[in-house]
Amino acid sequence: DVKVTQSSRYLVKRTGEKVFLECVQDMDHENMFWYRQDPGLGLRLIYFSYDVKMKEKGDIPEGYSVSREKKERFSLILESASTNQTSMYLCASRTGTGYSNQPQHFGDGTRLSIL
């Protein structure tokens, strides 16, 4: 089975802090994704990466950056955390290049609170 591991289940940070969320997958997948999930808004794509050192903006990239130095690891960075970034963050990975009929596999999520 595919295993996507997010480093923290719960995280509390302060406004203005630089926050790192880490995600590791163990199936050698080419593609990795970061989403945020908010009540009433569903899942929204923040960034994705289709290869090492490659990244593409999703639907809501403002206030975030990402890093993919190794194939198995994809980090989401909140450059200067703000209260409106309090959310559930979900990481996912998928095999295949470009369009693919393969599903994305998700981690358990990180519930981030910015105070």
Partner 1 sequence: GDSVTQMEGPVTLSEEAFLTINCTYTATGYPSLFWYVQYPGEGLQLLLKATKADDKGSNKGFEATYRKETTSFHLEKGSVQVSDSAVYFCALSGSNYKLTFGKGTLLTVNP
Q: What residues make contact with partner 1 under the rule CB under 8 A?
A: 4, 6, 31, 33, 40-43, 45, 48, 50, 56, 58, 90, 92, 98-109
Q: Report residue 60 as tokens.
A: 């809501």
For the CB of residue 55, give the shortest distance to partner 1 in the complex, in Å: 11
Close Cβ partners of 46 (under 8 Å, ≥ 6 residues apart): 34, 35, 36, 58, 59, 60, 61, 64, 66, 76
Q: Report the relative pairing of strands 31-38 and 87-94 from DSSP bridges.
A: antiparallel
For the CB of residue 13, give the shortest distance to partner 1 in the complex, in Å: 20
* 60 CB-contact burial (10 Å; exposed 0-12 / middle 13-18 / buried 19+): middle
- Which is nearer to partner 1, 16 or 103 (by Cβ)? 103
- Which is nearer to partner 1, 85 or 110 (by Cβ)? 110
- Which is nearer to partner 1, 6 or 75 (by Cβ)? 6
For the CB of residue 56, give the shortest distance to partner 1 in the complex, in Å: 7
- Which is nearer to partner 1, 20 or 50 (by Cβ)? 50
